[in-house]
Amino acid sequence: RARRGRCRADYSSPQVVVVRNGHLGTAYRALQLLVLLYFTGYVFIIQKGYQERETGPESSVITKVKGVTQSPSKVWDVGEYVSPPEGGSTFSILTRVDVSPAQAMETCPEGRAVATATCSSDQDCVPRDTDTSGHGQRTGRCVPQPGGTGKSCEVLAWCPVDGGSISESLAEMASQFTVLIKNNIHFPRFGFSKGNIQAAESGYLKSCMFNTTSALYCPIFKLGFLVEEAGEDFTELAEKGGVIGVIITWNCNLDLPDAECNPHYSFRRLDPKGVSAFPGYNYRFAKYYSWNGTRSRVLIKAYGIRVDVIVHGQAGKFSLIPTIITLATALTSVGLGSFVCDWILLCCMDKEQRYSSRKFEIFLCRGPIPGVPHRQSSPCCSPNHPPLLWSHRR
């Protein structure tokens, strides 16, 4: 046991064994070639493993919409159909509105659609109670519905709550609205900044329109173009509303001139299409006014196209550290061929025992072992005794 522990503490050196086998040699060289092709073609050329990289650039987006449209009752300009007006990375454009009749703050029967508001006496209506699906605060009275179709609890609310609405479409000229998207990005690690507007003349943006090949740095889009590029029908989308994503991608190789770092635009619909629960995109807002000294309002349910501008990007530049790491990984991976071929020889070929005897050999020498009587001495390292070759066979 002491002899075994002493030998295990010695230095082990790998032994080179040449196996003359055509099939195995071909497999070995093929594995080496695959590893070299992978690191040369994919890691170095495609993934640029020699570069230091930064993802998620700092970005700012400013938008501006222009255009005029008409509904059956009025003409709409940009101050009315764009929300919010600040021009951020997310905005919506109205394409259809459902306008309720004038409402005033007073008491009236709760709407028919609120099931818990149905009553037969005042005891069924709790004063000052509210319902999440209702329109106001209950007064504690049970009153007849307009038209004599039953009774419901009276509420203090913007009345009438069931006055119907008038639908008006703004989509007649909405597809011709122009949308300016100004984007600037910055990669702080490399101190690199760039924008998607590079106009040589001050009046360039007044006459240009976006084109992937001829006007890449004119980020002015027609609303109909955005919807079409996202694969949607404009008339259908304007009726129910929806969300269109404008994705701007900056993939910059900073080893090349700055002119090679260009934005790439893609468009797609972000909200699920054809969902029965809460389809499309809509929201409500009110416009208030005073009529004969009474504060009144008009409630509008708006359908529209919401545009979300999303910016992605990454930049890379040559750096010595990732280059050394990638080269070391490549050189280490070349040894994969030896590991696979050793496994095939030891486990799969008919001469595995013969190869094992050549692959694993232990050299021992004779002499006294410290702490063991001389008569019990056995092979150990000693310069006075010649080495004895011992082959380990499995």
The per-residue pLDDT for 390 is: 36
User: What dihedral angle (degrees, nearest 10) is formed by the CA atoms of 101, 105, 108, 111?
Assistant: 60
**Residue 273 counted as an annotated binding residue:** no
**Residue 50 counted as an annotated binding residue:** no
Q: Indicate the CATH number for domain 2-50+320-391.
A: 1.10.287.940
Other beta carbons less than 10 A from residue 117's beta carbon: 25
From 2.60.490.10, 3.30.70.2190, 3.40.50.360, 1.10.420.10, which CATH number describes the 54-100+167-317 domain? 2.60.490.10
In this structure, the chain runs to a length of 394
Q: Please name the residue ranges forming H helices in the chain.
A: 2-8, 22-37, 78-81, 223-229, 234-240, 320-334, 336-347, 352-359
The per-residue pLDDT for 351 is: 56
The per-residue pLDDT for 359 is: 65
Is 316 in contact with 254 (CB distance < 8 Å)?
A: yes
**Residue 65 counted as an annotated binding residue:** yes
Closest CA to 172 of 64, 67, 279, 268: 67
The per-residue pLDDT for 224 is: 95
CATH 1.10.287.940 region(s) of the chain?
Answer: 2-50+320-391
**Residue 74 counted as an annotated binding residue:** no
Amino acid at 165: S
CATH 2.60.490.10 region(s) of the chain?
Answer: 54-100+167-317
Closest CA to 313 of 247, 269, 268, 256: 247
**Residue 194 counted as an annotated binding residue:** no
| Spatial distance between the Cα atoms of 96 and 280, rounded to a whole number of angstroms | 12
**Residue 284 counted as an annotated binding residue:** yes
The per-residue pLDDT for 356 is: 66
The per-residue pLDDT for 268 is: 96
Going residue by residue through the chain, which has 394 residues, state the pLDDT in tens, using 9 for 90 and above: 545 555 456 666 666 777 777 777 888 888 889 998 999 899 988 889 999 999 989 999 999 999 999 988 889 999 999 999 888 999 999 999 999 889 999 999 998 888 888 999 999 999 999 888 889 999 999 999 887 778 999 999 999 988 778 999 999 899 999 999 999 999 999 999 999 998 767 788 888 999 999 999 999 999 999 999 999 999 999 999 999 999 999 999 999 999 999 999 999 999 988 777 788 899 999 999 998 888 999 999 999 999 999 999 999 999 999 999 999 998 888 887 777 877 777 777 655 566 666 666 666 555 554 554 544 444 444 444 444 333 333 3
